[in-house]
Amino acid sequence: MKVQTMLTGFVTSVMLSSQLMVMAQVSPFSERVGSEMQMEQFPCALGGGCQEDIISTDPTFIQVSTEKTPVLSRVSAQGQPDALTAEIFIPTHQALVRANVPIFGKAHGKKFKEYRVEYGQGSNPTHWELLRRSTTPQTQNVTPNPLYLSADLSIEGNLGTWDTGLKNYVYLPTHPPDHPINLKGTYTIRLVVISTDGQRIEDRVTVHVANVIPNAWGGQVISPDEQVRLSIQEQSITAPFRLILIQSTNQRPKISGHGRQLIGDVYEVKEPGERFTKSAVLEIKIPENLHHSERERMAIYGYDPAIQEWVHLPTFQQEIESGALFTRVRRLHALYAVMSTNRVGEGSDPIPVNSWTKTIHQVNAGVPTSQHYLVQEDFEKGVGSWSNRDGQAGATVSIDGASTFDGTKALKIVNSQPGGNFAVNIRTTPFSAREFPIIEFDYRMDPGVKTNLYAKVSGRWYQVRLTDDPMELLHKRVNIAQIGTVPDIVADGEWHATQFNFYDMLRTKTGNFIVDELIMADWDVTGYMRLQYGHNPAGATYYIDNFGISREIEAGLHPNEDVLVVDNFNQKKGRNHFRRPMFTFQNPSNPASGIITIAFASDDASGRGHSLVLSYDVSRPKTYSGYATTLPRLDLRGFYALSFSVKSADLNQDMFVGIRDSSGQERKILLSTYHPERLDTDWKRIEIPLTVFGSELNWGAVENVSFSFAHMSTKSKGTILLDDIQFHKHVRAYHVDSFEQWHGKNLLGGEHRTFANGAAAINGTYTRGSPNGLYRLSYGGNIGAINAYASDLLTYAGWATDLGGVDCSRCSRVSFRVRGGEGGERPNIYLDDGNVRWGVNLEDYMTVSTEWQSVAIPLEAFAQHGVDLTHLETLQVVFEWEQMSGTLYLDDIWFGTPSNSQP
């Protein structure tokens, strides 16, 4: 048996002891009648939900066929005391399968010698590939111990396990992108049992290796000959996973009537009748040498066995040269084909090139408008922008005049069927959550109603919890991140009102803010990639009234510039770029105060113009002094860095940099904690990530920026020159850590730590080498070992450093210096955005040696697997998957191109 676990981003699997596999048998859900095995559903113990027709323990997929065909006759002498037995119970005949397919059954007899499990292509193979040979009889039809089973397990069969490949998504370490196996189509599994006296019997099961479609993501079904493609939208199937196969077939149902002629192959679908809540796009290629007029007479047809007729489907050509026809489907026919036709009303029509591809909405979030409300609906004149989502699986939307106290109208939302996703569209037109962050509405919810708010932003869904039960979304890869909970939502059948700042919730998990869709729905997440319907009963009802999306009244000035200039001191005035005053401050005279004076230097600036000269004296105990420039309650949400140019009149200077919000909260950092190189007589351009100042400040209303000095923390006297103070929306480089300061925090202000699971061990230590600061990781124990009886099955160890949600969308790479204690060390490097974690093998980018080397890993390697580069929370170095021990040294971790801090 394999157990899947998300340790640090990759999904990993390991073999467990075979003793755990003899606890349960298939008898509760199977029954033999002669040579036929009746099997309608898998039990709860085999990984799926109860009463499902699919095992979807990742990466094991077996879907029971709806076809009522008998299994192949087995060759045996059953009923005789010494007879050999060869029986395959799982997978069942005509099942759809994918990835690691466990084969369960019996192989034994009194004169048993060995058994072989083989597979071959087609329903009657002429060539067989050996899967497993064993001299151990299998007398029990064993299935895994239910104690160890869940939706996140991978199952090993007692007869063998067949790797058919998995290309729909990456599953590591067993199915990386370059996994060499990618079977597709119809295959037959054969179990051959041989006795010591040469007797031989066998059992066969025909299965179909199909494409796996996860509901959370959707995907594509491509025929083995790559002539047919079915594109399925996210959240459009009725189960967490479905298996679908489309392949050419020799079936040729009669084409009734005149005027139609078959072009090319006929393609069969496994399983016909599969339904989608959103239209899927079926594409069939046609010969490229056909004339345009001939293509117009062609169309896609689906065969309906119930009426034994080919049905014309509305067909389109995306472009004349594409060589393909398209149609939309909500339910799969048994067969598909392209035919030419001279019948009126059939044939195909042209469509615009991009009309069926994903629309990319561009919203100018920086264009101010005078209106306060983007949306304000009281539903007196209709449902507004609200509508049903996902047909019968969703909710009905109507106007109700009986639910309010004063007889005014409200929106009534009713669950269409038991379960379902209870989904309604609120808004499908994109808008900026930065411009319009406030969502408010009145509501009345029946007791027990479960629903949440979901917003689709830059391809990912973000959940705001309303009344649904809490669910674990971290690292589940269902393309949903949780961003907050609306407090005090009550489902008691009475009217209530709520209001919340959606943008403040959203920015805790992403730097993106254009909302493409806003919906309410009931989804449950029961395991890795398992997104399924909730459990509201049919008729569950809630009401919405006075729904609004609006601006934030209390927000500060919202700047549109990517680079916001605070002051360049060129006007030599006591006011900054915003015409707000600058001022100096010092501690009250008790008994003495600090001293500071300001002046302007015209002949010493970082660029053209002038700079500000700060001369200070904090030589007396407990004194401080500084300079501040006032801001007009700036809304700096969406900005990520403060920059300025600075130099000193002498060497080894330091200072505090502070930011204060309108409520009086202030955070100051000592510049050397972020920029370890002390100030000197050369101009330096300093860029400080705002995450260094913490998340406690009200970034929607920033009041001032300050530069100050304090007794015992900076030099007692000195002169500092400042120039070009700016805030930035986009940052191209972050210095994460130089390990020069040994206080357990990186240069972004985030903590770093080691972690271990199971019998692994790791120790992280600051050290020095010629003479720079370094960080040493010593790791070992039983990394990669398995303890089948422990709650933590895998052992691993690692080091993590917190990034604070920095926006690295323009950084291009992560780099660091590294050397090994012995060379050949093989850690994995992970990035975590707070919802999705992904990692790469360091050895794919370098071979660690005993000499210092620099390595740069493109951030696209993480982004292409779902990591949101606009909000990075953690960087990890992890030792896992195989037994290893050793020492690794790290230094100078950067995102983007390392800077020399020159202006």
Q: What is the DSSP string of 627-670?
A: EEEEEEEE--TT--EEEEEEEESSSSB--EEEEEETTS-EEEEE
How much is the average pLDDT of 779-787?
76
H helix or E strand, kind and range, residue 262:
strand 260-270
For residue 68, what pLDDT band results from cuts at 50, 70 and 90?
A: low
Give the separation between CA 139 and CA 124, rounded to whole angstroms: 27
* pLDDT reported for residue 593: 84
Closest C-alpha to 107, from 141, 131, 80: 141
- What is the percentage of the chain residues whose pLDDT exceeds 70? 85
* pLDDT reported for residue 743: 83
Q: At 714, which amino acid appears?
A: T
Q: Which of 118-132, 337-351, 417-431, 709-723 has the lowest mean pLDDT?
A: 337-351
For residue 167, what pLDDT band results from cuts at 50, 70 and 90?
A: confident
Any idea what DSSP says for residue 469? Answer: P
Closest C-alpha to 721, from 820, 623, 800, 612: 612
For residue 291, what pLDDT band results from cuts at 50, 70 and 90?
A: low
* pLDDT reported for residue 293: 67
Cβ neighbors of 33 (< 8 A, separation 6 or more) are none
How much is the average pLDDT of 227-255?
95
Token output for 603: 């002949």
* pLDDT reported for residue 36: 34
The residue with greater pLDDT, 822 or 715, is: 822
Q: Is the pLDDT of residue 558 over 60?
A: yes
Any idea what DSSP says for residue 17? Answer: P
Q: How far apart are the first and last CA of the chain?
A: 60
Q: Is the pLDDT of residue 14 over 60?
A: no
Structural domains for the chain: 2-209 (2.60.40.10), 219-350 (2.60.220.30), 373-550 (2.60.120.260), 563-730 (2.60.120.430), 735-896 (2.60.120.430)
For residue 17, what pLDDT band results from cuts at 50, 70 and 90?
A: very low
For residue 25, what pLDDT band results from cuts at 50, 70 and 90?
A: very low
Q: Is the pLDDT of residue 522 over 90?
A: yes
Closest C-alpha to 342, from 233, 258, 412, 451: 258
CA dihedral defined by 648, 650, 653, 657, rounded to 10 degrees? -20
Question: What would the pLDDT profile of 367-395 be if each residue is shown by its tens digit?
Answer: 345 589 999 999 999 999 999 999 999 99
Question: What would the pLDDT profile of 649-684 be if each residue is shown by its tens digit?
Answer: 888 889 999 999 999 999 999 998 888 778 888 999
For 891, phi then psi, to 5°, come to -160, 150
* pLDDT reported for residue 378: 96
Q: Is the pLDDT of residue 47 over 50?
A: no
Give the separation between CA 727 and CA 809, rounded to whole angstroms: 17
Q: Is the pLDDT of residue 357 over 50?
A: no
Q: At 177, which amino acid appears?
A: P
Q: Is the pLDDT of residue 474 over 70?
A: yes
Long-range own/partner contacts, residues 124-132 (CB < 8 A, 24 or more apart): 124/188, 125/187, 125/188, 125/190, 128/190, 131/103, 131/160, 131/162, 131/189, 132/159, 132/160
For residue 759, what pLDDT band results from cuts at 50, 70 and 90?
A: confident
* pLDDT reported for residue 788: 40
Any idea what DSSP says for residue 571? Answer: T
How much is the average pLDDT of 416-430?
95
The residue with greater pLDDT, 616 or 55, is: 616
Question: What would the pLDDT profile of 270-281 be if each residue is shown by its tens digit?
Answer: 999 999 999 999
Peptide bond into 91 cis (omega under 30): yes
* pLDDT reported for residue 180: 83
Biggest alpha carbon distance in the chain?
108
* pLDDT reported for residue 879: 95
Give the separation between CA 412 and CA 806, rounded to whole angstroms: 42
**Residue 335 CA from chain centroid, whole number:** 35
Strands 96-108 and 200-209: parallel
Cβ neighbors of 142 (< 8 A, separation 6 or more) are 21, 22, 23, 24, 25, 104, 158
Closest C-alpha to 415, from 515, 310, 522: 522
Q: At 59, which amino acid appears?
A: P
Residue 231, strand partner residues: 220, 281
* Inter-residue contact 93 to 69 (CB < 8 Å): yes
* pLDDT reported for residue 706: 97
How much is the average pLDDT of 465-490?
94
Any idea what DSSP says for residue 27? Answer: T
Token output for 414: 């009713």
How much is the average pLDDT of 635-641?
92
CA dihedral defined by 546, 548, 554, 555, rounded to 10 degrees? 170
The residue with greater pLDDT, 345 or 218, is: 218
Q: Which of 220-224, 533-537, 725-729, 878-882 has the lowest mean pLDDT?
A: 878-882
Q: Which of 136-150, 343-357, 696-710, 733-747 has the lowest mean pLDDT?
A: 136-150
Cβ neighbors of 776 (< 8 A, separation 6 or more) are 764, 765, 766, 767, 887, 888, 889, 890
Residue 421, classed as helix, strand or coil, is coil
* pLDDT reported for residue 882: 86
Q: Is the pLDDT of residue 807 over 50?
A: yes
Report the predicted TM-score, pTM, of the whole model to 2 decimal places: 0.86
Strands 813-820 and 886-896: antiparallel
For residue 846, what pLDDT band results from cuts at 50, 70 and 90?
A: very high
Q: Residues for the chain: how many in total? A: 903
For 543, phi then psi, to 5°, come to -125, 145
Question: What would the pLDDT profile of 81-111 be if each residue is shown by its tens digit?
Answer: 458 999 999 999 999 999 999 999 999 998 9
Closest C-alpha to 831, from 877, 900, 893, 763: 877
Token output for 750: 């985030």
* pLDDT reported for residue 798: 96
Peptide bond into 588 cis (omega under 30): no
Closest C-alpha to 596, from 604, 585, 587, 588: 585
Residue 193, strand partner residues: 115, 201
Give the separation between CA 673 and CA 745, rounded to whole angstroms: 9
The string of DSSP codes covering 817-860 is: EEEESSS----EEEEE-SS-EEEEEGGGT----SS-EEEEEETH
The residue with greater pLDDT, 167 or 777, is: 777
Any idea what DSSP says for residue 171? Answer: B
Between the alpha carbon of residue 279 and those of residues 282, 408, 454, 800, the distances in Å are 10, 36, 21, 43
Rg (alpha carbons) of the chain, rounded to whole number:
33
* Inter-residue contact 393 to 238 (CB < 8 Å): yes
**Residue 152 CA from chain centroid, whole number:** 17
Token output for 747: 């240069």
Q: Is the pLDDT of residue 152 over 80?
A: no
Q: Is the pLDDT of residue 76 over 90?
A: no
For 843, phi then psi, to 5°, come to -65, -15
* Inter-residue contact 723 to 653 (CB < 8 Å): no
Place of tokens 């990034």: 803
Could you give the count of Cα atoms lying within 13 Å of 897 in the half-sphere of its Cβ? 4
Q: Is the pLDDT of residue 366 over 80?
A: no
* pLDDT reported for residue 545: 97
* Inter-residue contact 317 to 265 (CB < 8 Å): no
Token output for 268: 């069969």
Cα–Cα–Cα angle for 773, 778, 781, rounded to 5 degrees: 170
Residue 223, strand partner residues: none
For 827, phi then psi, to 5°, come to -80, 165
CA dihedral defined by 770, 773, 778, 784, rounded to 10 degrees? -120
Give the separation between CA 478 and CA 472, rounded to whole angstroms: 11
* Inter-residue contact 483 to 473 (CB < 8 Å): no
